[in-house]
Amino acid sequence: MTLIDVPYSVEELNNAQIELVRKNEFQGDNVYIRPFVFLGYGVMGVYHKEAPVTAAIAAWEWGAYLGEEGMQKGIKLKIVSMNRPSNTSAMGKAKATANYLNSQMAKFEAIDCGYEEALLLDDQGYVAEASGAAFFMVKDGVLISPPNDNSLQSITQKTVIEMATNMGIKVERRRISREEVYVADEAFLTGTAAEITPVRIIDAREIGCGSRGEMTQKLQSTYFDIVFGRNKDYEHYLTYI
């Protein structure tokens, strides 16, 4: 039994997204799609199974999530006081709106302190993820990203790992401590909105050269070739409209 009985199949929702983009006739080259499945009106209280289920899909033109300058030069990242909730406190693997309250509070703290983005640790003090993106760091030529034991699984993270492996870059999925982050050679965030965004400062500490690193730039360039259909080897990630 599922917790929410969605009245549409995955195929129907995917086709609706394609039709939405087609009918809007967007003029830009970067469009964000946000599908929602949510509980409608009719039932009060915290037991939800009798509430009607509604689906909606939004799409709009969207530029660089963390700014065009950040994509080129890197952003400032703050390790915030707000932890990523533990796996025993909620269904953290679900891409649920309720889970984003924690991210919203973390992002507010980071921006209020003069940074562009928040990095959350887990309840044991290891790096989990940013407020809405996965974290990567580079040390001694090795690309390192935390396991998804306390973070959302990310299609973009998976793509970056596949790209790096195909380039002959050694990739490690392991826990990362705060101290390791501070002495990284490079760092960047990945996500549907963040794409591949370099990190130049973490907690007032300059990372590597203090700008977009060499490996980050190489991965970023390859990634954009993929999403804009310029690399035939990765067409399995694309849906043509």
Residue 99 is given by DSSP the state: G
pTM for the model? 0.92
Range 208-236 average pLDDT:
94
- Do 51 and 152 lie in a common domain? no
- Total domains in the chain come to 2
In a domain, 37, yes or no: yes
pLDDT in tens, 153-212: 889 999 999 999 999 999 999 999 999 999 999 999 999 988 999 999 999 999 999 999
Calpha distance 146→148 (Å, rounded): 6
At residue 144, does pLDDT exceed 80? Answer: yes
Checking if the pLDDT of 235 tops 60, the result is yes
Asked whether residue 106 falls in the same domain as residue 223, the answer is yes
User: What's the pLDDT at 137?
Assistant: 98
Q: Are 216 and 171 in contact (CB under 8 A)?
A: no
Q: What is the pLDDT of residues 54-87, one digit of tens each?
A: 999 999 998 888 878 888 899 999 999 989 988 8
Residue 123 shares a structural domain with residue 141: yes
Mean pLDDT of the chain: 92
Same domain, yes or no: 46 and 147: no
Q: Is residue 159 part of a domain?
A: yes
Find the domain containing 186 and state its range. 68-227
Listed range (17-31, 105-119, 122-136) with the worst mean pLDDT: 17-31
The two tokens of residue 158 are: 């998976």
Residues 109 and 154 in one domain: yes
52/131 same-domain check: no
| Catalytic one of 49, 95, 139, 170 | 95
| 170 in catalytic set | no
Q: CB of 136 within 8 A of CB of 142? A: no
- pLDDT higher at 87 or 120: 120
Question: Do the Cβ atoms of 6 and 40 come closer than 8 Å?
Answer: no
Residue 95, pLDDT > 80, answer yes
- Tokens 């302190």 locate to 113
- Which residue has better confidence, 8 or 49? 8
